[in-house]
Amino acid sequence: MITGAREQELIGAANLLLDARRTATPITDLPEELQPKSLDEAYFVQDTMAAAYGAIGGWKVGAPTPDATPIFAPMPLAWITPNDSVLEGPTWRYRGLEAEIAFLIGEDLPVRATPYSRDEVIAALASCHPVIEVLESGLVDPAAATRFSMIGDMQMHGGFVWGPAYSDWKAIDFTKERVTLAVDGVVRVERVGSNTSGDFLKLLPWLANEGAARTGGLKAGQWVTTGSWTGNTLATAGADVDVRFATAGRVGLRFG
């Protein structure tokens, strides 16, 4: 448990990152004494920041390789918007883009002593959607900052745009699913079966079980998005963004 003076330092870190985002004046990194030194400390910073944005609308979860331990971050409800939304305002500075597959939770998965099976979690899903996660940061270049500073900064989460549900998603062979990400009509990324965690469906029971102490259990109406298929693609002000999964469908947005 994080308490006392260290808790106050990490709250200070969260406030610096919040101010950097709100004023669109990013910092190179957190001061060394405020930098999270562990994943638990980075999660404390995330949760402190998320509380400033109101209700949680879901969770982003992913892993950089199939064998890596997943990491996750809250997604504020206020940042979740439908297909073809226009995102405008001074907070859209970094404008990173990731094509992803996300799920809407249909039934509560409360904390319990017995771990949920994969089948139980999948049965609780209401629908599957193509989505765009928009990356934002209070850091000038998140890749150049210390890793736990980047993770603490909401794991670069800045927005979530969801496309139409695809009803027959269980029949999709995601190892062969093709995705394209285009900006202003130009395809910037085209890949096949490229989710970095490999079998990304395993992330759902992991989040329901290993993440439960932090999430308080997954709740009906929340979203879970399962990691990037396209890496981080940067856009500019005014850009039109179009993501197309060969089977799972299309989702788009525009920056104002």
Give Cα separations from 56 to 79, 142, 173, 187 (angstroms): 10, 23, 31, 33
Cα gap 197→226, rounded to integer Å: 9
Each residue's pLDDT tens digit, 99-149: 999 999 999 999 999 999 999 999 999 999 999 999 999 999 999 999 999
**For 22-43, what is each residue's pLDDT tens digit?**
999 999 999 999 999 999 999 9
pLDDT band at 90 (very low <50, low <70, confident <90, very high): confident
Q: How confident is the model at residue 2 (pLDDT cuts 50, 70, 90)?
A: confident
Which of 196, 208, 241 lies closest to 87 in space, CA to CA?
A: 241
Residue 95 contacts residue 234 (beta carbons within 8 Å)? yes
Domain coordinates in residue numbering, the chain: 4-255
Q: Tell me the average pLDDT of the chain.
A: 97
Nearest alpha carbon to residue 150 among 21, 42, 237: 42
Closest CA relative to residue 200, chosen from 108, 115, 152, 131: 131
Partnered with residue 76 across adjacent β-strands are 56
In this prediction, residue 251 has a pLDDT band, given cuts at 50, 70 and 90, of very high
CATH class of the domain whose range is 4-255: alpha beta
Other C-beta atoms lying within 10 Å of the C-beta of residue 50: 18
User: Taking the complete model, does pTM exceed 0.95, yes or no?
Assistant: yes
| pLDDT per residue as tens digits for the range 205-226 | 999 999 999 999 999 999 999 9
Question: What pLDDT, on the 0 to 100 scale, is given for residue 43?
Answer: 98
211 C-beta neighbours (distance < 10 Å), count? 20
**Is residue 161 scored above 90 in pLDDT?**
yes
pLDDT of 91 over the 90 cut: no
Instruction: Please name the residues in contact with 3: beta carbons below 8 A apart, sequence gap of 6 or more.
Output: none
